[in-house]
């Protein structure tokens, strides 16, 4: 079972990474699922994902309910809108697909802006037992 969870976790990380570049593929749900699956199969990889320089602060903010930093929100929204703009201008060829892309982007923007904002960066997590919010119950 451990190998199945580990394989699924890596699949989720790959899909989450693709979601950074593909506007209709969600990043956060896949990364949160990867965090859960790593907690069941490899705590070492779970910590590595939480400590990742780009994804770590974003995933930690969701997993611990501390919220996202202002920088994480800004980077997320800039990447979102750049990829949506590229898709609308060069990829989507019918009006309704452009409308769907913009509607999805607006929904994600609202979600990100309504998410709690963390004003200061949290310290990196080295061991899940150091932070009660990351312990499995």
Q: Which residues of 9-23 are buried (b: 16+ CB within 10 A; e: fewer)?
A: bbebbebbbebbeeb
Task: For residue range 19-55, list pLDDT tens digits in order.
Answer: 878 767 778 888 989 999 999 999 999 999 999 887 7
Domain membership of residue 127 (yes or no) is: no
CB-CB contact of 26 with 19 (8 Å): yes
In a domain, 111, yes or no: yes
Helix-strand-coil split of the chain, %, nearest 5: 75, 5, 25
Q: How many structural domains is the chain composed of? A: 1
Query: pTM value?
Result: 0.61
58 falls within a domain? yes
Residue 129 has pLDDT above 80, yes or no: no
pLDDT surpassing 50 at residue 119: yes
Q: What is the pLDDT of residue 137?
A: 38
User: How many angstroms separate the Cα of 59 from the Cα of each of 25, 27, 84, 101, 108?
Assistant: 16, 10, 22, 24, 16
Q: Which domain holds residue 28?
A: 2-119
């Amino acid at each position: 079972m451990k190998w199945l969870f580990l394989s699924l976790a890596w699949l989720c990380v790959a899909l989450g990474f693709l979601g950074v570049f593909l506007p209709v593929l969600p990043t956060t749900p896949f990364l949160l699922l990867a965090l859960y699956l790593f907690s069941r199969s490899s705590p070492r990889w779970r910590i590595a994902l939480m400590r990742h320089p780009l994804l770590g602060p974003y995933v930690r903010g969701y997993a611990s309910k501390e919220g996202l930093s202002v920088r994480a929100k800004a980077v997320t929204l800039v990447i979102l809108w750049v990829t949506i703009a590229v898709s609308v201008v060069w990829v989507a060829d019918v009006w309704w697909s452009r409308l769907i892309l913009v509607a999805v982007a607006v929904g994600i923007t609202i979600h990100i802006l309504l998410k709690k904002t963390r004003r200061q960066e949290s310290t990196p997590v080295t061991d899940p037992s150091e932070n009660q919010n990351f312990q499995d119950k």
